[in-house]
Amino acid sequence: MKIGERLKRLRMANSLTQEELASRADLTKGFISQLENDATSPSIATLKDIIDVFGISMQEFFSEEPDQECVYGKEARVQATDDGDSVKVELLVPGAQNRDMDPVLVTLEPGGEMDEQPIHEGEEFGYVISGKVQLKLDDKLYTVEKGECFYFTSDRTHTVKNIGKGAAQILWVVTPPTFYY
């Protein structure tokens, strides 16, 4: 295990600068920098002072982090709508409700329209992979074609309708995961 790399990851995950970490652990910024670059090694007492800042034990610090799955094939997708619906929603990353964003693939048959999504916290991004859709935000309509995208805060009612002749597909990402299907 590279102690410096692990310390840097913890520091960044806790949104601390080197200077803030050094101050909380009663060390210098230069020493923290040297540790993160593996230019020096801390004593056990110093390492304990540092990891106390993160609120973890020595055992937690030295335990191996499990490899996180990062590639998901078609077989990992979960269909969140019924077959035969004019709107098909596929969850691209299983367990997204435990993550910071919810990526889905939305397929709309010609004339297909999603139910109006209620106002909620967060942001949404959609990239039209194929077709032509009409995005409705509150009472305003936008036409979004293949290769174009949309982005909005979710504090407005919204829906999307396929206004093209063929099926439309949208890569849609919601954060935090609140996608309603």
What class is the 3-62 domain?
mainly alpha
Query: Residue 106 class from Cβ within 10 Å (0-12 exposed, 13-18 middle, 19+ buried)?
Result: buried
Pairing of strands 158-162, 140-145: unpaired
Region 68-77 average pLDDT: 85
Token digits for 58? Answer: 């020595």
- Predicted confidence (pLDDT) at residue 180 exceeds the cutoff of 60: no
Unique residue bearing structure tokens 């409700």: 97
Q: What is the CATH number of domain 74-175?
A: 2.60.120.10
For 16-71, the pLDDT digits (tens) are 999 999 999 999 999 999 999 999 999 999 999 999 999 999 998 988 766 677 88
- CA terminus-to-terminus distance, the chain: 43
Lowest average pLDDT, out of 28-32, 66-70, 116-120, 161-165, goes to 66-70
For the chain, domain boundaries = 3-62, 74-175
For 96-111, the pLDDT digits (tens) are 666 788 899 999 999 9
